[in-house]
Structure 1
């Protein structure tokens, strides 16, 4: 059986062969999209020498008193020339007078009847508080590189380069299908052995959280013919990923592996040495130049969501050259049971105390306990070689 790292590498090797499409996006609509081009500075940034503070611009000399000649405010520049005994009141971001080379902060001076003088002990040297033309970025240099995820700070840099539209990667297209005789719509009240379907909602939300699109295929009963027809229809549609839940274990009514094979899906692996989520299936469907990655996730709600978090999410980040999932080092606050050689992803709650991250995990860790999953905010990663970690042990955590 594959271990976690081996399985993730197989997924990465297949996902990198997906053909990424691009489109143009207005920067107002570009938040959380991923740049598909380098954004180049069309001007020097800043485009002129300017003041970094509110203060007085002057020509540096050894004197400590000046005559105030005029003032300059941002966006209202008019040419002005000053001598060594003159100063100009200037606001933050304003263009410097032609021969000015120093700006004294307003809090470091005293003004009396049009005369400016340094306060006792004020720091003063040539070049103080000046932002030079091109000091942030020179013209024709890369301001924002391709594969950057666009955030508010990124939009500011893009706009400063004169771009109101940018090329971004098109969103990936997912389809999600749940299977199981026990499933009923969320509007219905469960009776006897029925449960409300939840996986299609949690997995769809996980896809949307990554800012991709999702087609909800709903749920079907454990009828092989019905499942096959549903899967066949999905494989003929315009999607990049198909995620199913249920039907991939070893039960009498676990038809999905068989259905995938009959429809031409190439199985890459089935079962990974992890808990929860061991019976995960991964395969590839290719037809007429189209490639779809298939993930058959367990039916247990916690298992399917953990599978998405530790397999699908990092693979997508890899495809778009994003940083790997940040692992937080924390001190375990309670003993945990782990007697096997699987890699465990235990639910926990992170908190910071005196600058140290700590994590508590007093949950049952049942793969069907949605309430505990919703209450947790991290997965505690317990590698294969670890047994029964104790309170005080150092562990790695993935935020969820």
Structure 2
């Protein structure tokens, strides 16, 4: 019995939650160094254990001075400072020795970017950093005075000074639970001393292609789906392996699936082909032989309506099984994108991808015999439709989208040459040129 797309999605979400509840919490998490965490999913909120910077530091290479002492500085009447020491980034804060007296030039410290501002035992205030290029370095005017600098303009209070905690406060959230970790997350994590992170374990996925035409030495048919689904599973965050091709025989399917179930733990199994009602479509029969629970078989979507989802018993717990259509291209790709990927996302503790809205352009591209999603035969259908499209930013109009060029069909490859998104037309929806439609970017990119 064919089910609606929304019902199928809700069943997948519910199943993923039930599967997770049935397993031990530790089976879903692992700790990795942050430099190895890119592309993984954060398993917990990360809060800063410190404030940054931890101390008041210099934003420039220069000299730590008392800004008040430069209030009357000018080119005609420069103010002189005596350099009492050097502070590099990472050095402990220096303190002006108590033997210092107020006689002679004001004290200062040479300070590097990131250096901690010094203190004075007699109450000297080093509140600002004057840049090197705003000073003139000179020898001391008196014996034993050492190096001095001259400043010929007033320096504002707190100039070039970074205050403790002005960047990140202790307890601030620096990375949320459930986000896919990017390189941009690594910098704030490292800056507050977080060296490892807890991430979700990658769901283990095994993929097979089915069909005698793929196992025959005489056939010249290339296996597109096996390669695609393996790559796409990895892109979705899974640990995916390709198990090869299985001939269109019930026993071969049963033995292959049974063998994998008995070898090691697996979370998801995927086959392409063999799920329709043809003479050589045996996937459902094989699953039933193995005691699987068929959750749904047939979804009101185009392309890909024969898609199947089941749960297989195993020593490791229930294993999700997706039987995808065998037509390479849109059929397998659309079902994987809108059914399998959301299930993977739920296992990873993430919400399914949300669409963007774009204005639909009525561009007549490709063959004149091509059926558009706006043509009469496709208008108001009682099924959800997915078409590869081209999403782009148009000046003054925001995001626009049009169908990818090429003759469309469940096994056509040409539209994917230029496509960068999926256009989703909901069941019973009638669309017109200029209407806003839902789009799902491919490869995480809004525009090509």
Which residue pairs with 1:397 in the alignment? 439
CA distance in structure 2 between the aligned counterparts of 1:106 and 1:389, rounded to whole angstroms: 65
Q: Does 1:383 align with 2:426?
A: yes
Deviation at 1:53, TM superposition (A): 4.2
Correspondence 1:168-247 to 2 at 5 A: 168-184=199-215, 190=219, 195-237=221-263, 238-247=265-274
SS in 2 for 1:318: helix
Does the C-alpha gap of structure 1 residues 68 and 206 become closer, same or farther in structure 2, counting only changes over 3 Å? Answer: farther
- CA offset digits 1:201-257 (Å, max 9, x no partner): 100001111342122121122111111211222333421000011111122222111
> Which is further off, 347-356 or 54-63?
54-63
- 306, 320, 341: which is aligned to 1:279? 306
- 21, 31, 46: which is aligned to 1:24? 31
SS in 2 for 1:236: helix
- CA offset digits 1:303-338 (Å, max 9, x no partner): 111111112223322333335424233232325332
Deviation at 1:97, TM superposition (A): 2.4
CA distance in structure 2 between the aligned counterparts of 1:189 and 1:330, rounded to whole angstroms: 46
Does the C-alpha gap of structure 1 residues 225 and 189 become closer, same or farther in structure 2, counting only changes over 3 Å? Answer: closer
Deviation at 1:190, TM superposition (A): 4.6
- CA offset digits 1:56-97 (Å, max 9, x no partner): 544454815353443544235551559996655544322122
Whether the 8 Å CA contact 1:184–1:197 is kept in 2: the answer is no
Does the C-alpha gap of structure 1 residues 69 and 4 become closer, same or farther in structure 2, counting only changes over 3 Å? Answer: farther
- 318, 322, 334: which is aligned to 1:306? 334
Which residue pairs with 1:9 in the alignment? 10
SS in 1 for 2:318: strand
Whether the 8 Å CA contact 1:352–1:358 is kept in 2: the answer is yes
Whether the 8 Å CA contact 2:34–2:197 is kept in 1: the answer is yes
Whether the 8 Å CA contact 1:347–1:363 is kept in 2: the answer is no
Which residue pairs with 2:80 in the alignment? 67
Which residue pairs with 1:248 in the alignment? 275
Deviation at 1:15, TM superposition (A): 1.2
Which residue pairs with 2:43 in the alignment? 36
Whether the 8 Å CA contact 2:269–2:320 is kept in 1: the answer is yes
Q: Does 1:351 align with 2:392?
A: yes
Does the C-alpha gap of structure 1 residues 42 and 210 become closer, same or farther in structure 2, counting only changes over 3 Å? Answer: same
- CA offset digits 1:20-55 (Å, max 9, x no partner): 432332333222122334545444322211133455
CA distance in structure 2 between the aligned counterparts of 1:351 and 1:367, rounded to whole angstroms: 24
Whether the 8 Å CA contact 1:30–1:150 is kept in 2: the answer is yes
CA distance in structure 2 between the aligned counterparts of 1:94 and 1:189, rounded to whole angstroms: 72
SS in 2 for 1:370: coil
Q: Which runs of 5+ in 2 are unaligned?
A: 74-78, 120-124, 139-148, 364-371, 443-448
Whether the 8 Å CA contact 1:68–1:88 is kept in 2: the answer is no
- 115, 119, 129: which is aligned to 1:94? 115
TM-score (normalizing by structure 1): 0.85
Whether the 8 Å CA contact 1:184–1:196 is kept in 2: the answer is no
Report the structure number with the largest CA radius of gyration: 2
Whether the 8 Å CA contact 1:12–1:319 is kept in 2: the answer is no
Does the C-alpha gap of structure 1 residues 75 and 260 become closer, same or farther in structure 2, counting only changes over 3 Å? Answer: same
Which residue pairs with 2:368 in the alignment? none
CA distance in structure 1 between the aligned counterparts of 2:7 and 2:136, rounded to whole angstroms: 71
Task: Calculate the aligned-residue CA RMSD, in Å.
Answer: 3.1
Deviation at 1:176, TM superposition (A): 0.6
Whether the 8 Å CA contact 2:202–2:348 is kept in 1: the answer is no
SS in 1 for 2:256: helix
Deviation at 1:139, TM superposition (A): 4.4
Deviation at 1:105, TM superposition (A): 6.1
Which residue pairs with 1:151 in the alignment? 182
> Which is further off, 356-365 or 172-181?
356-365
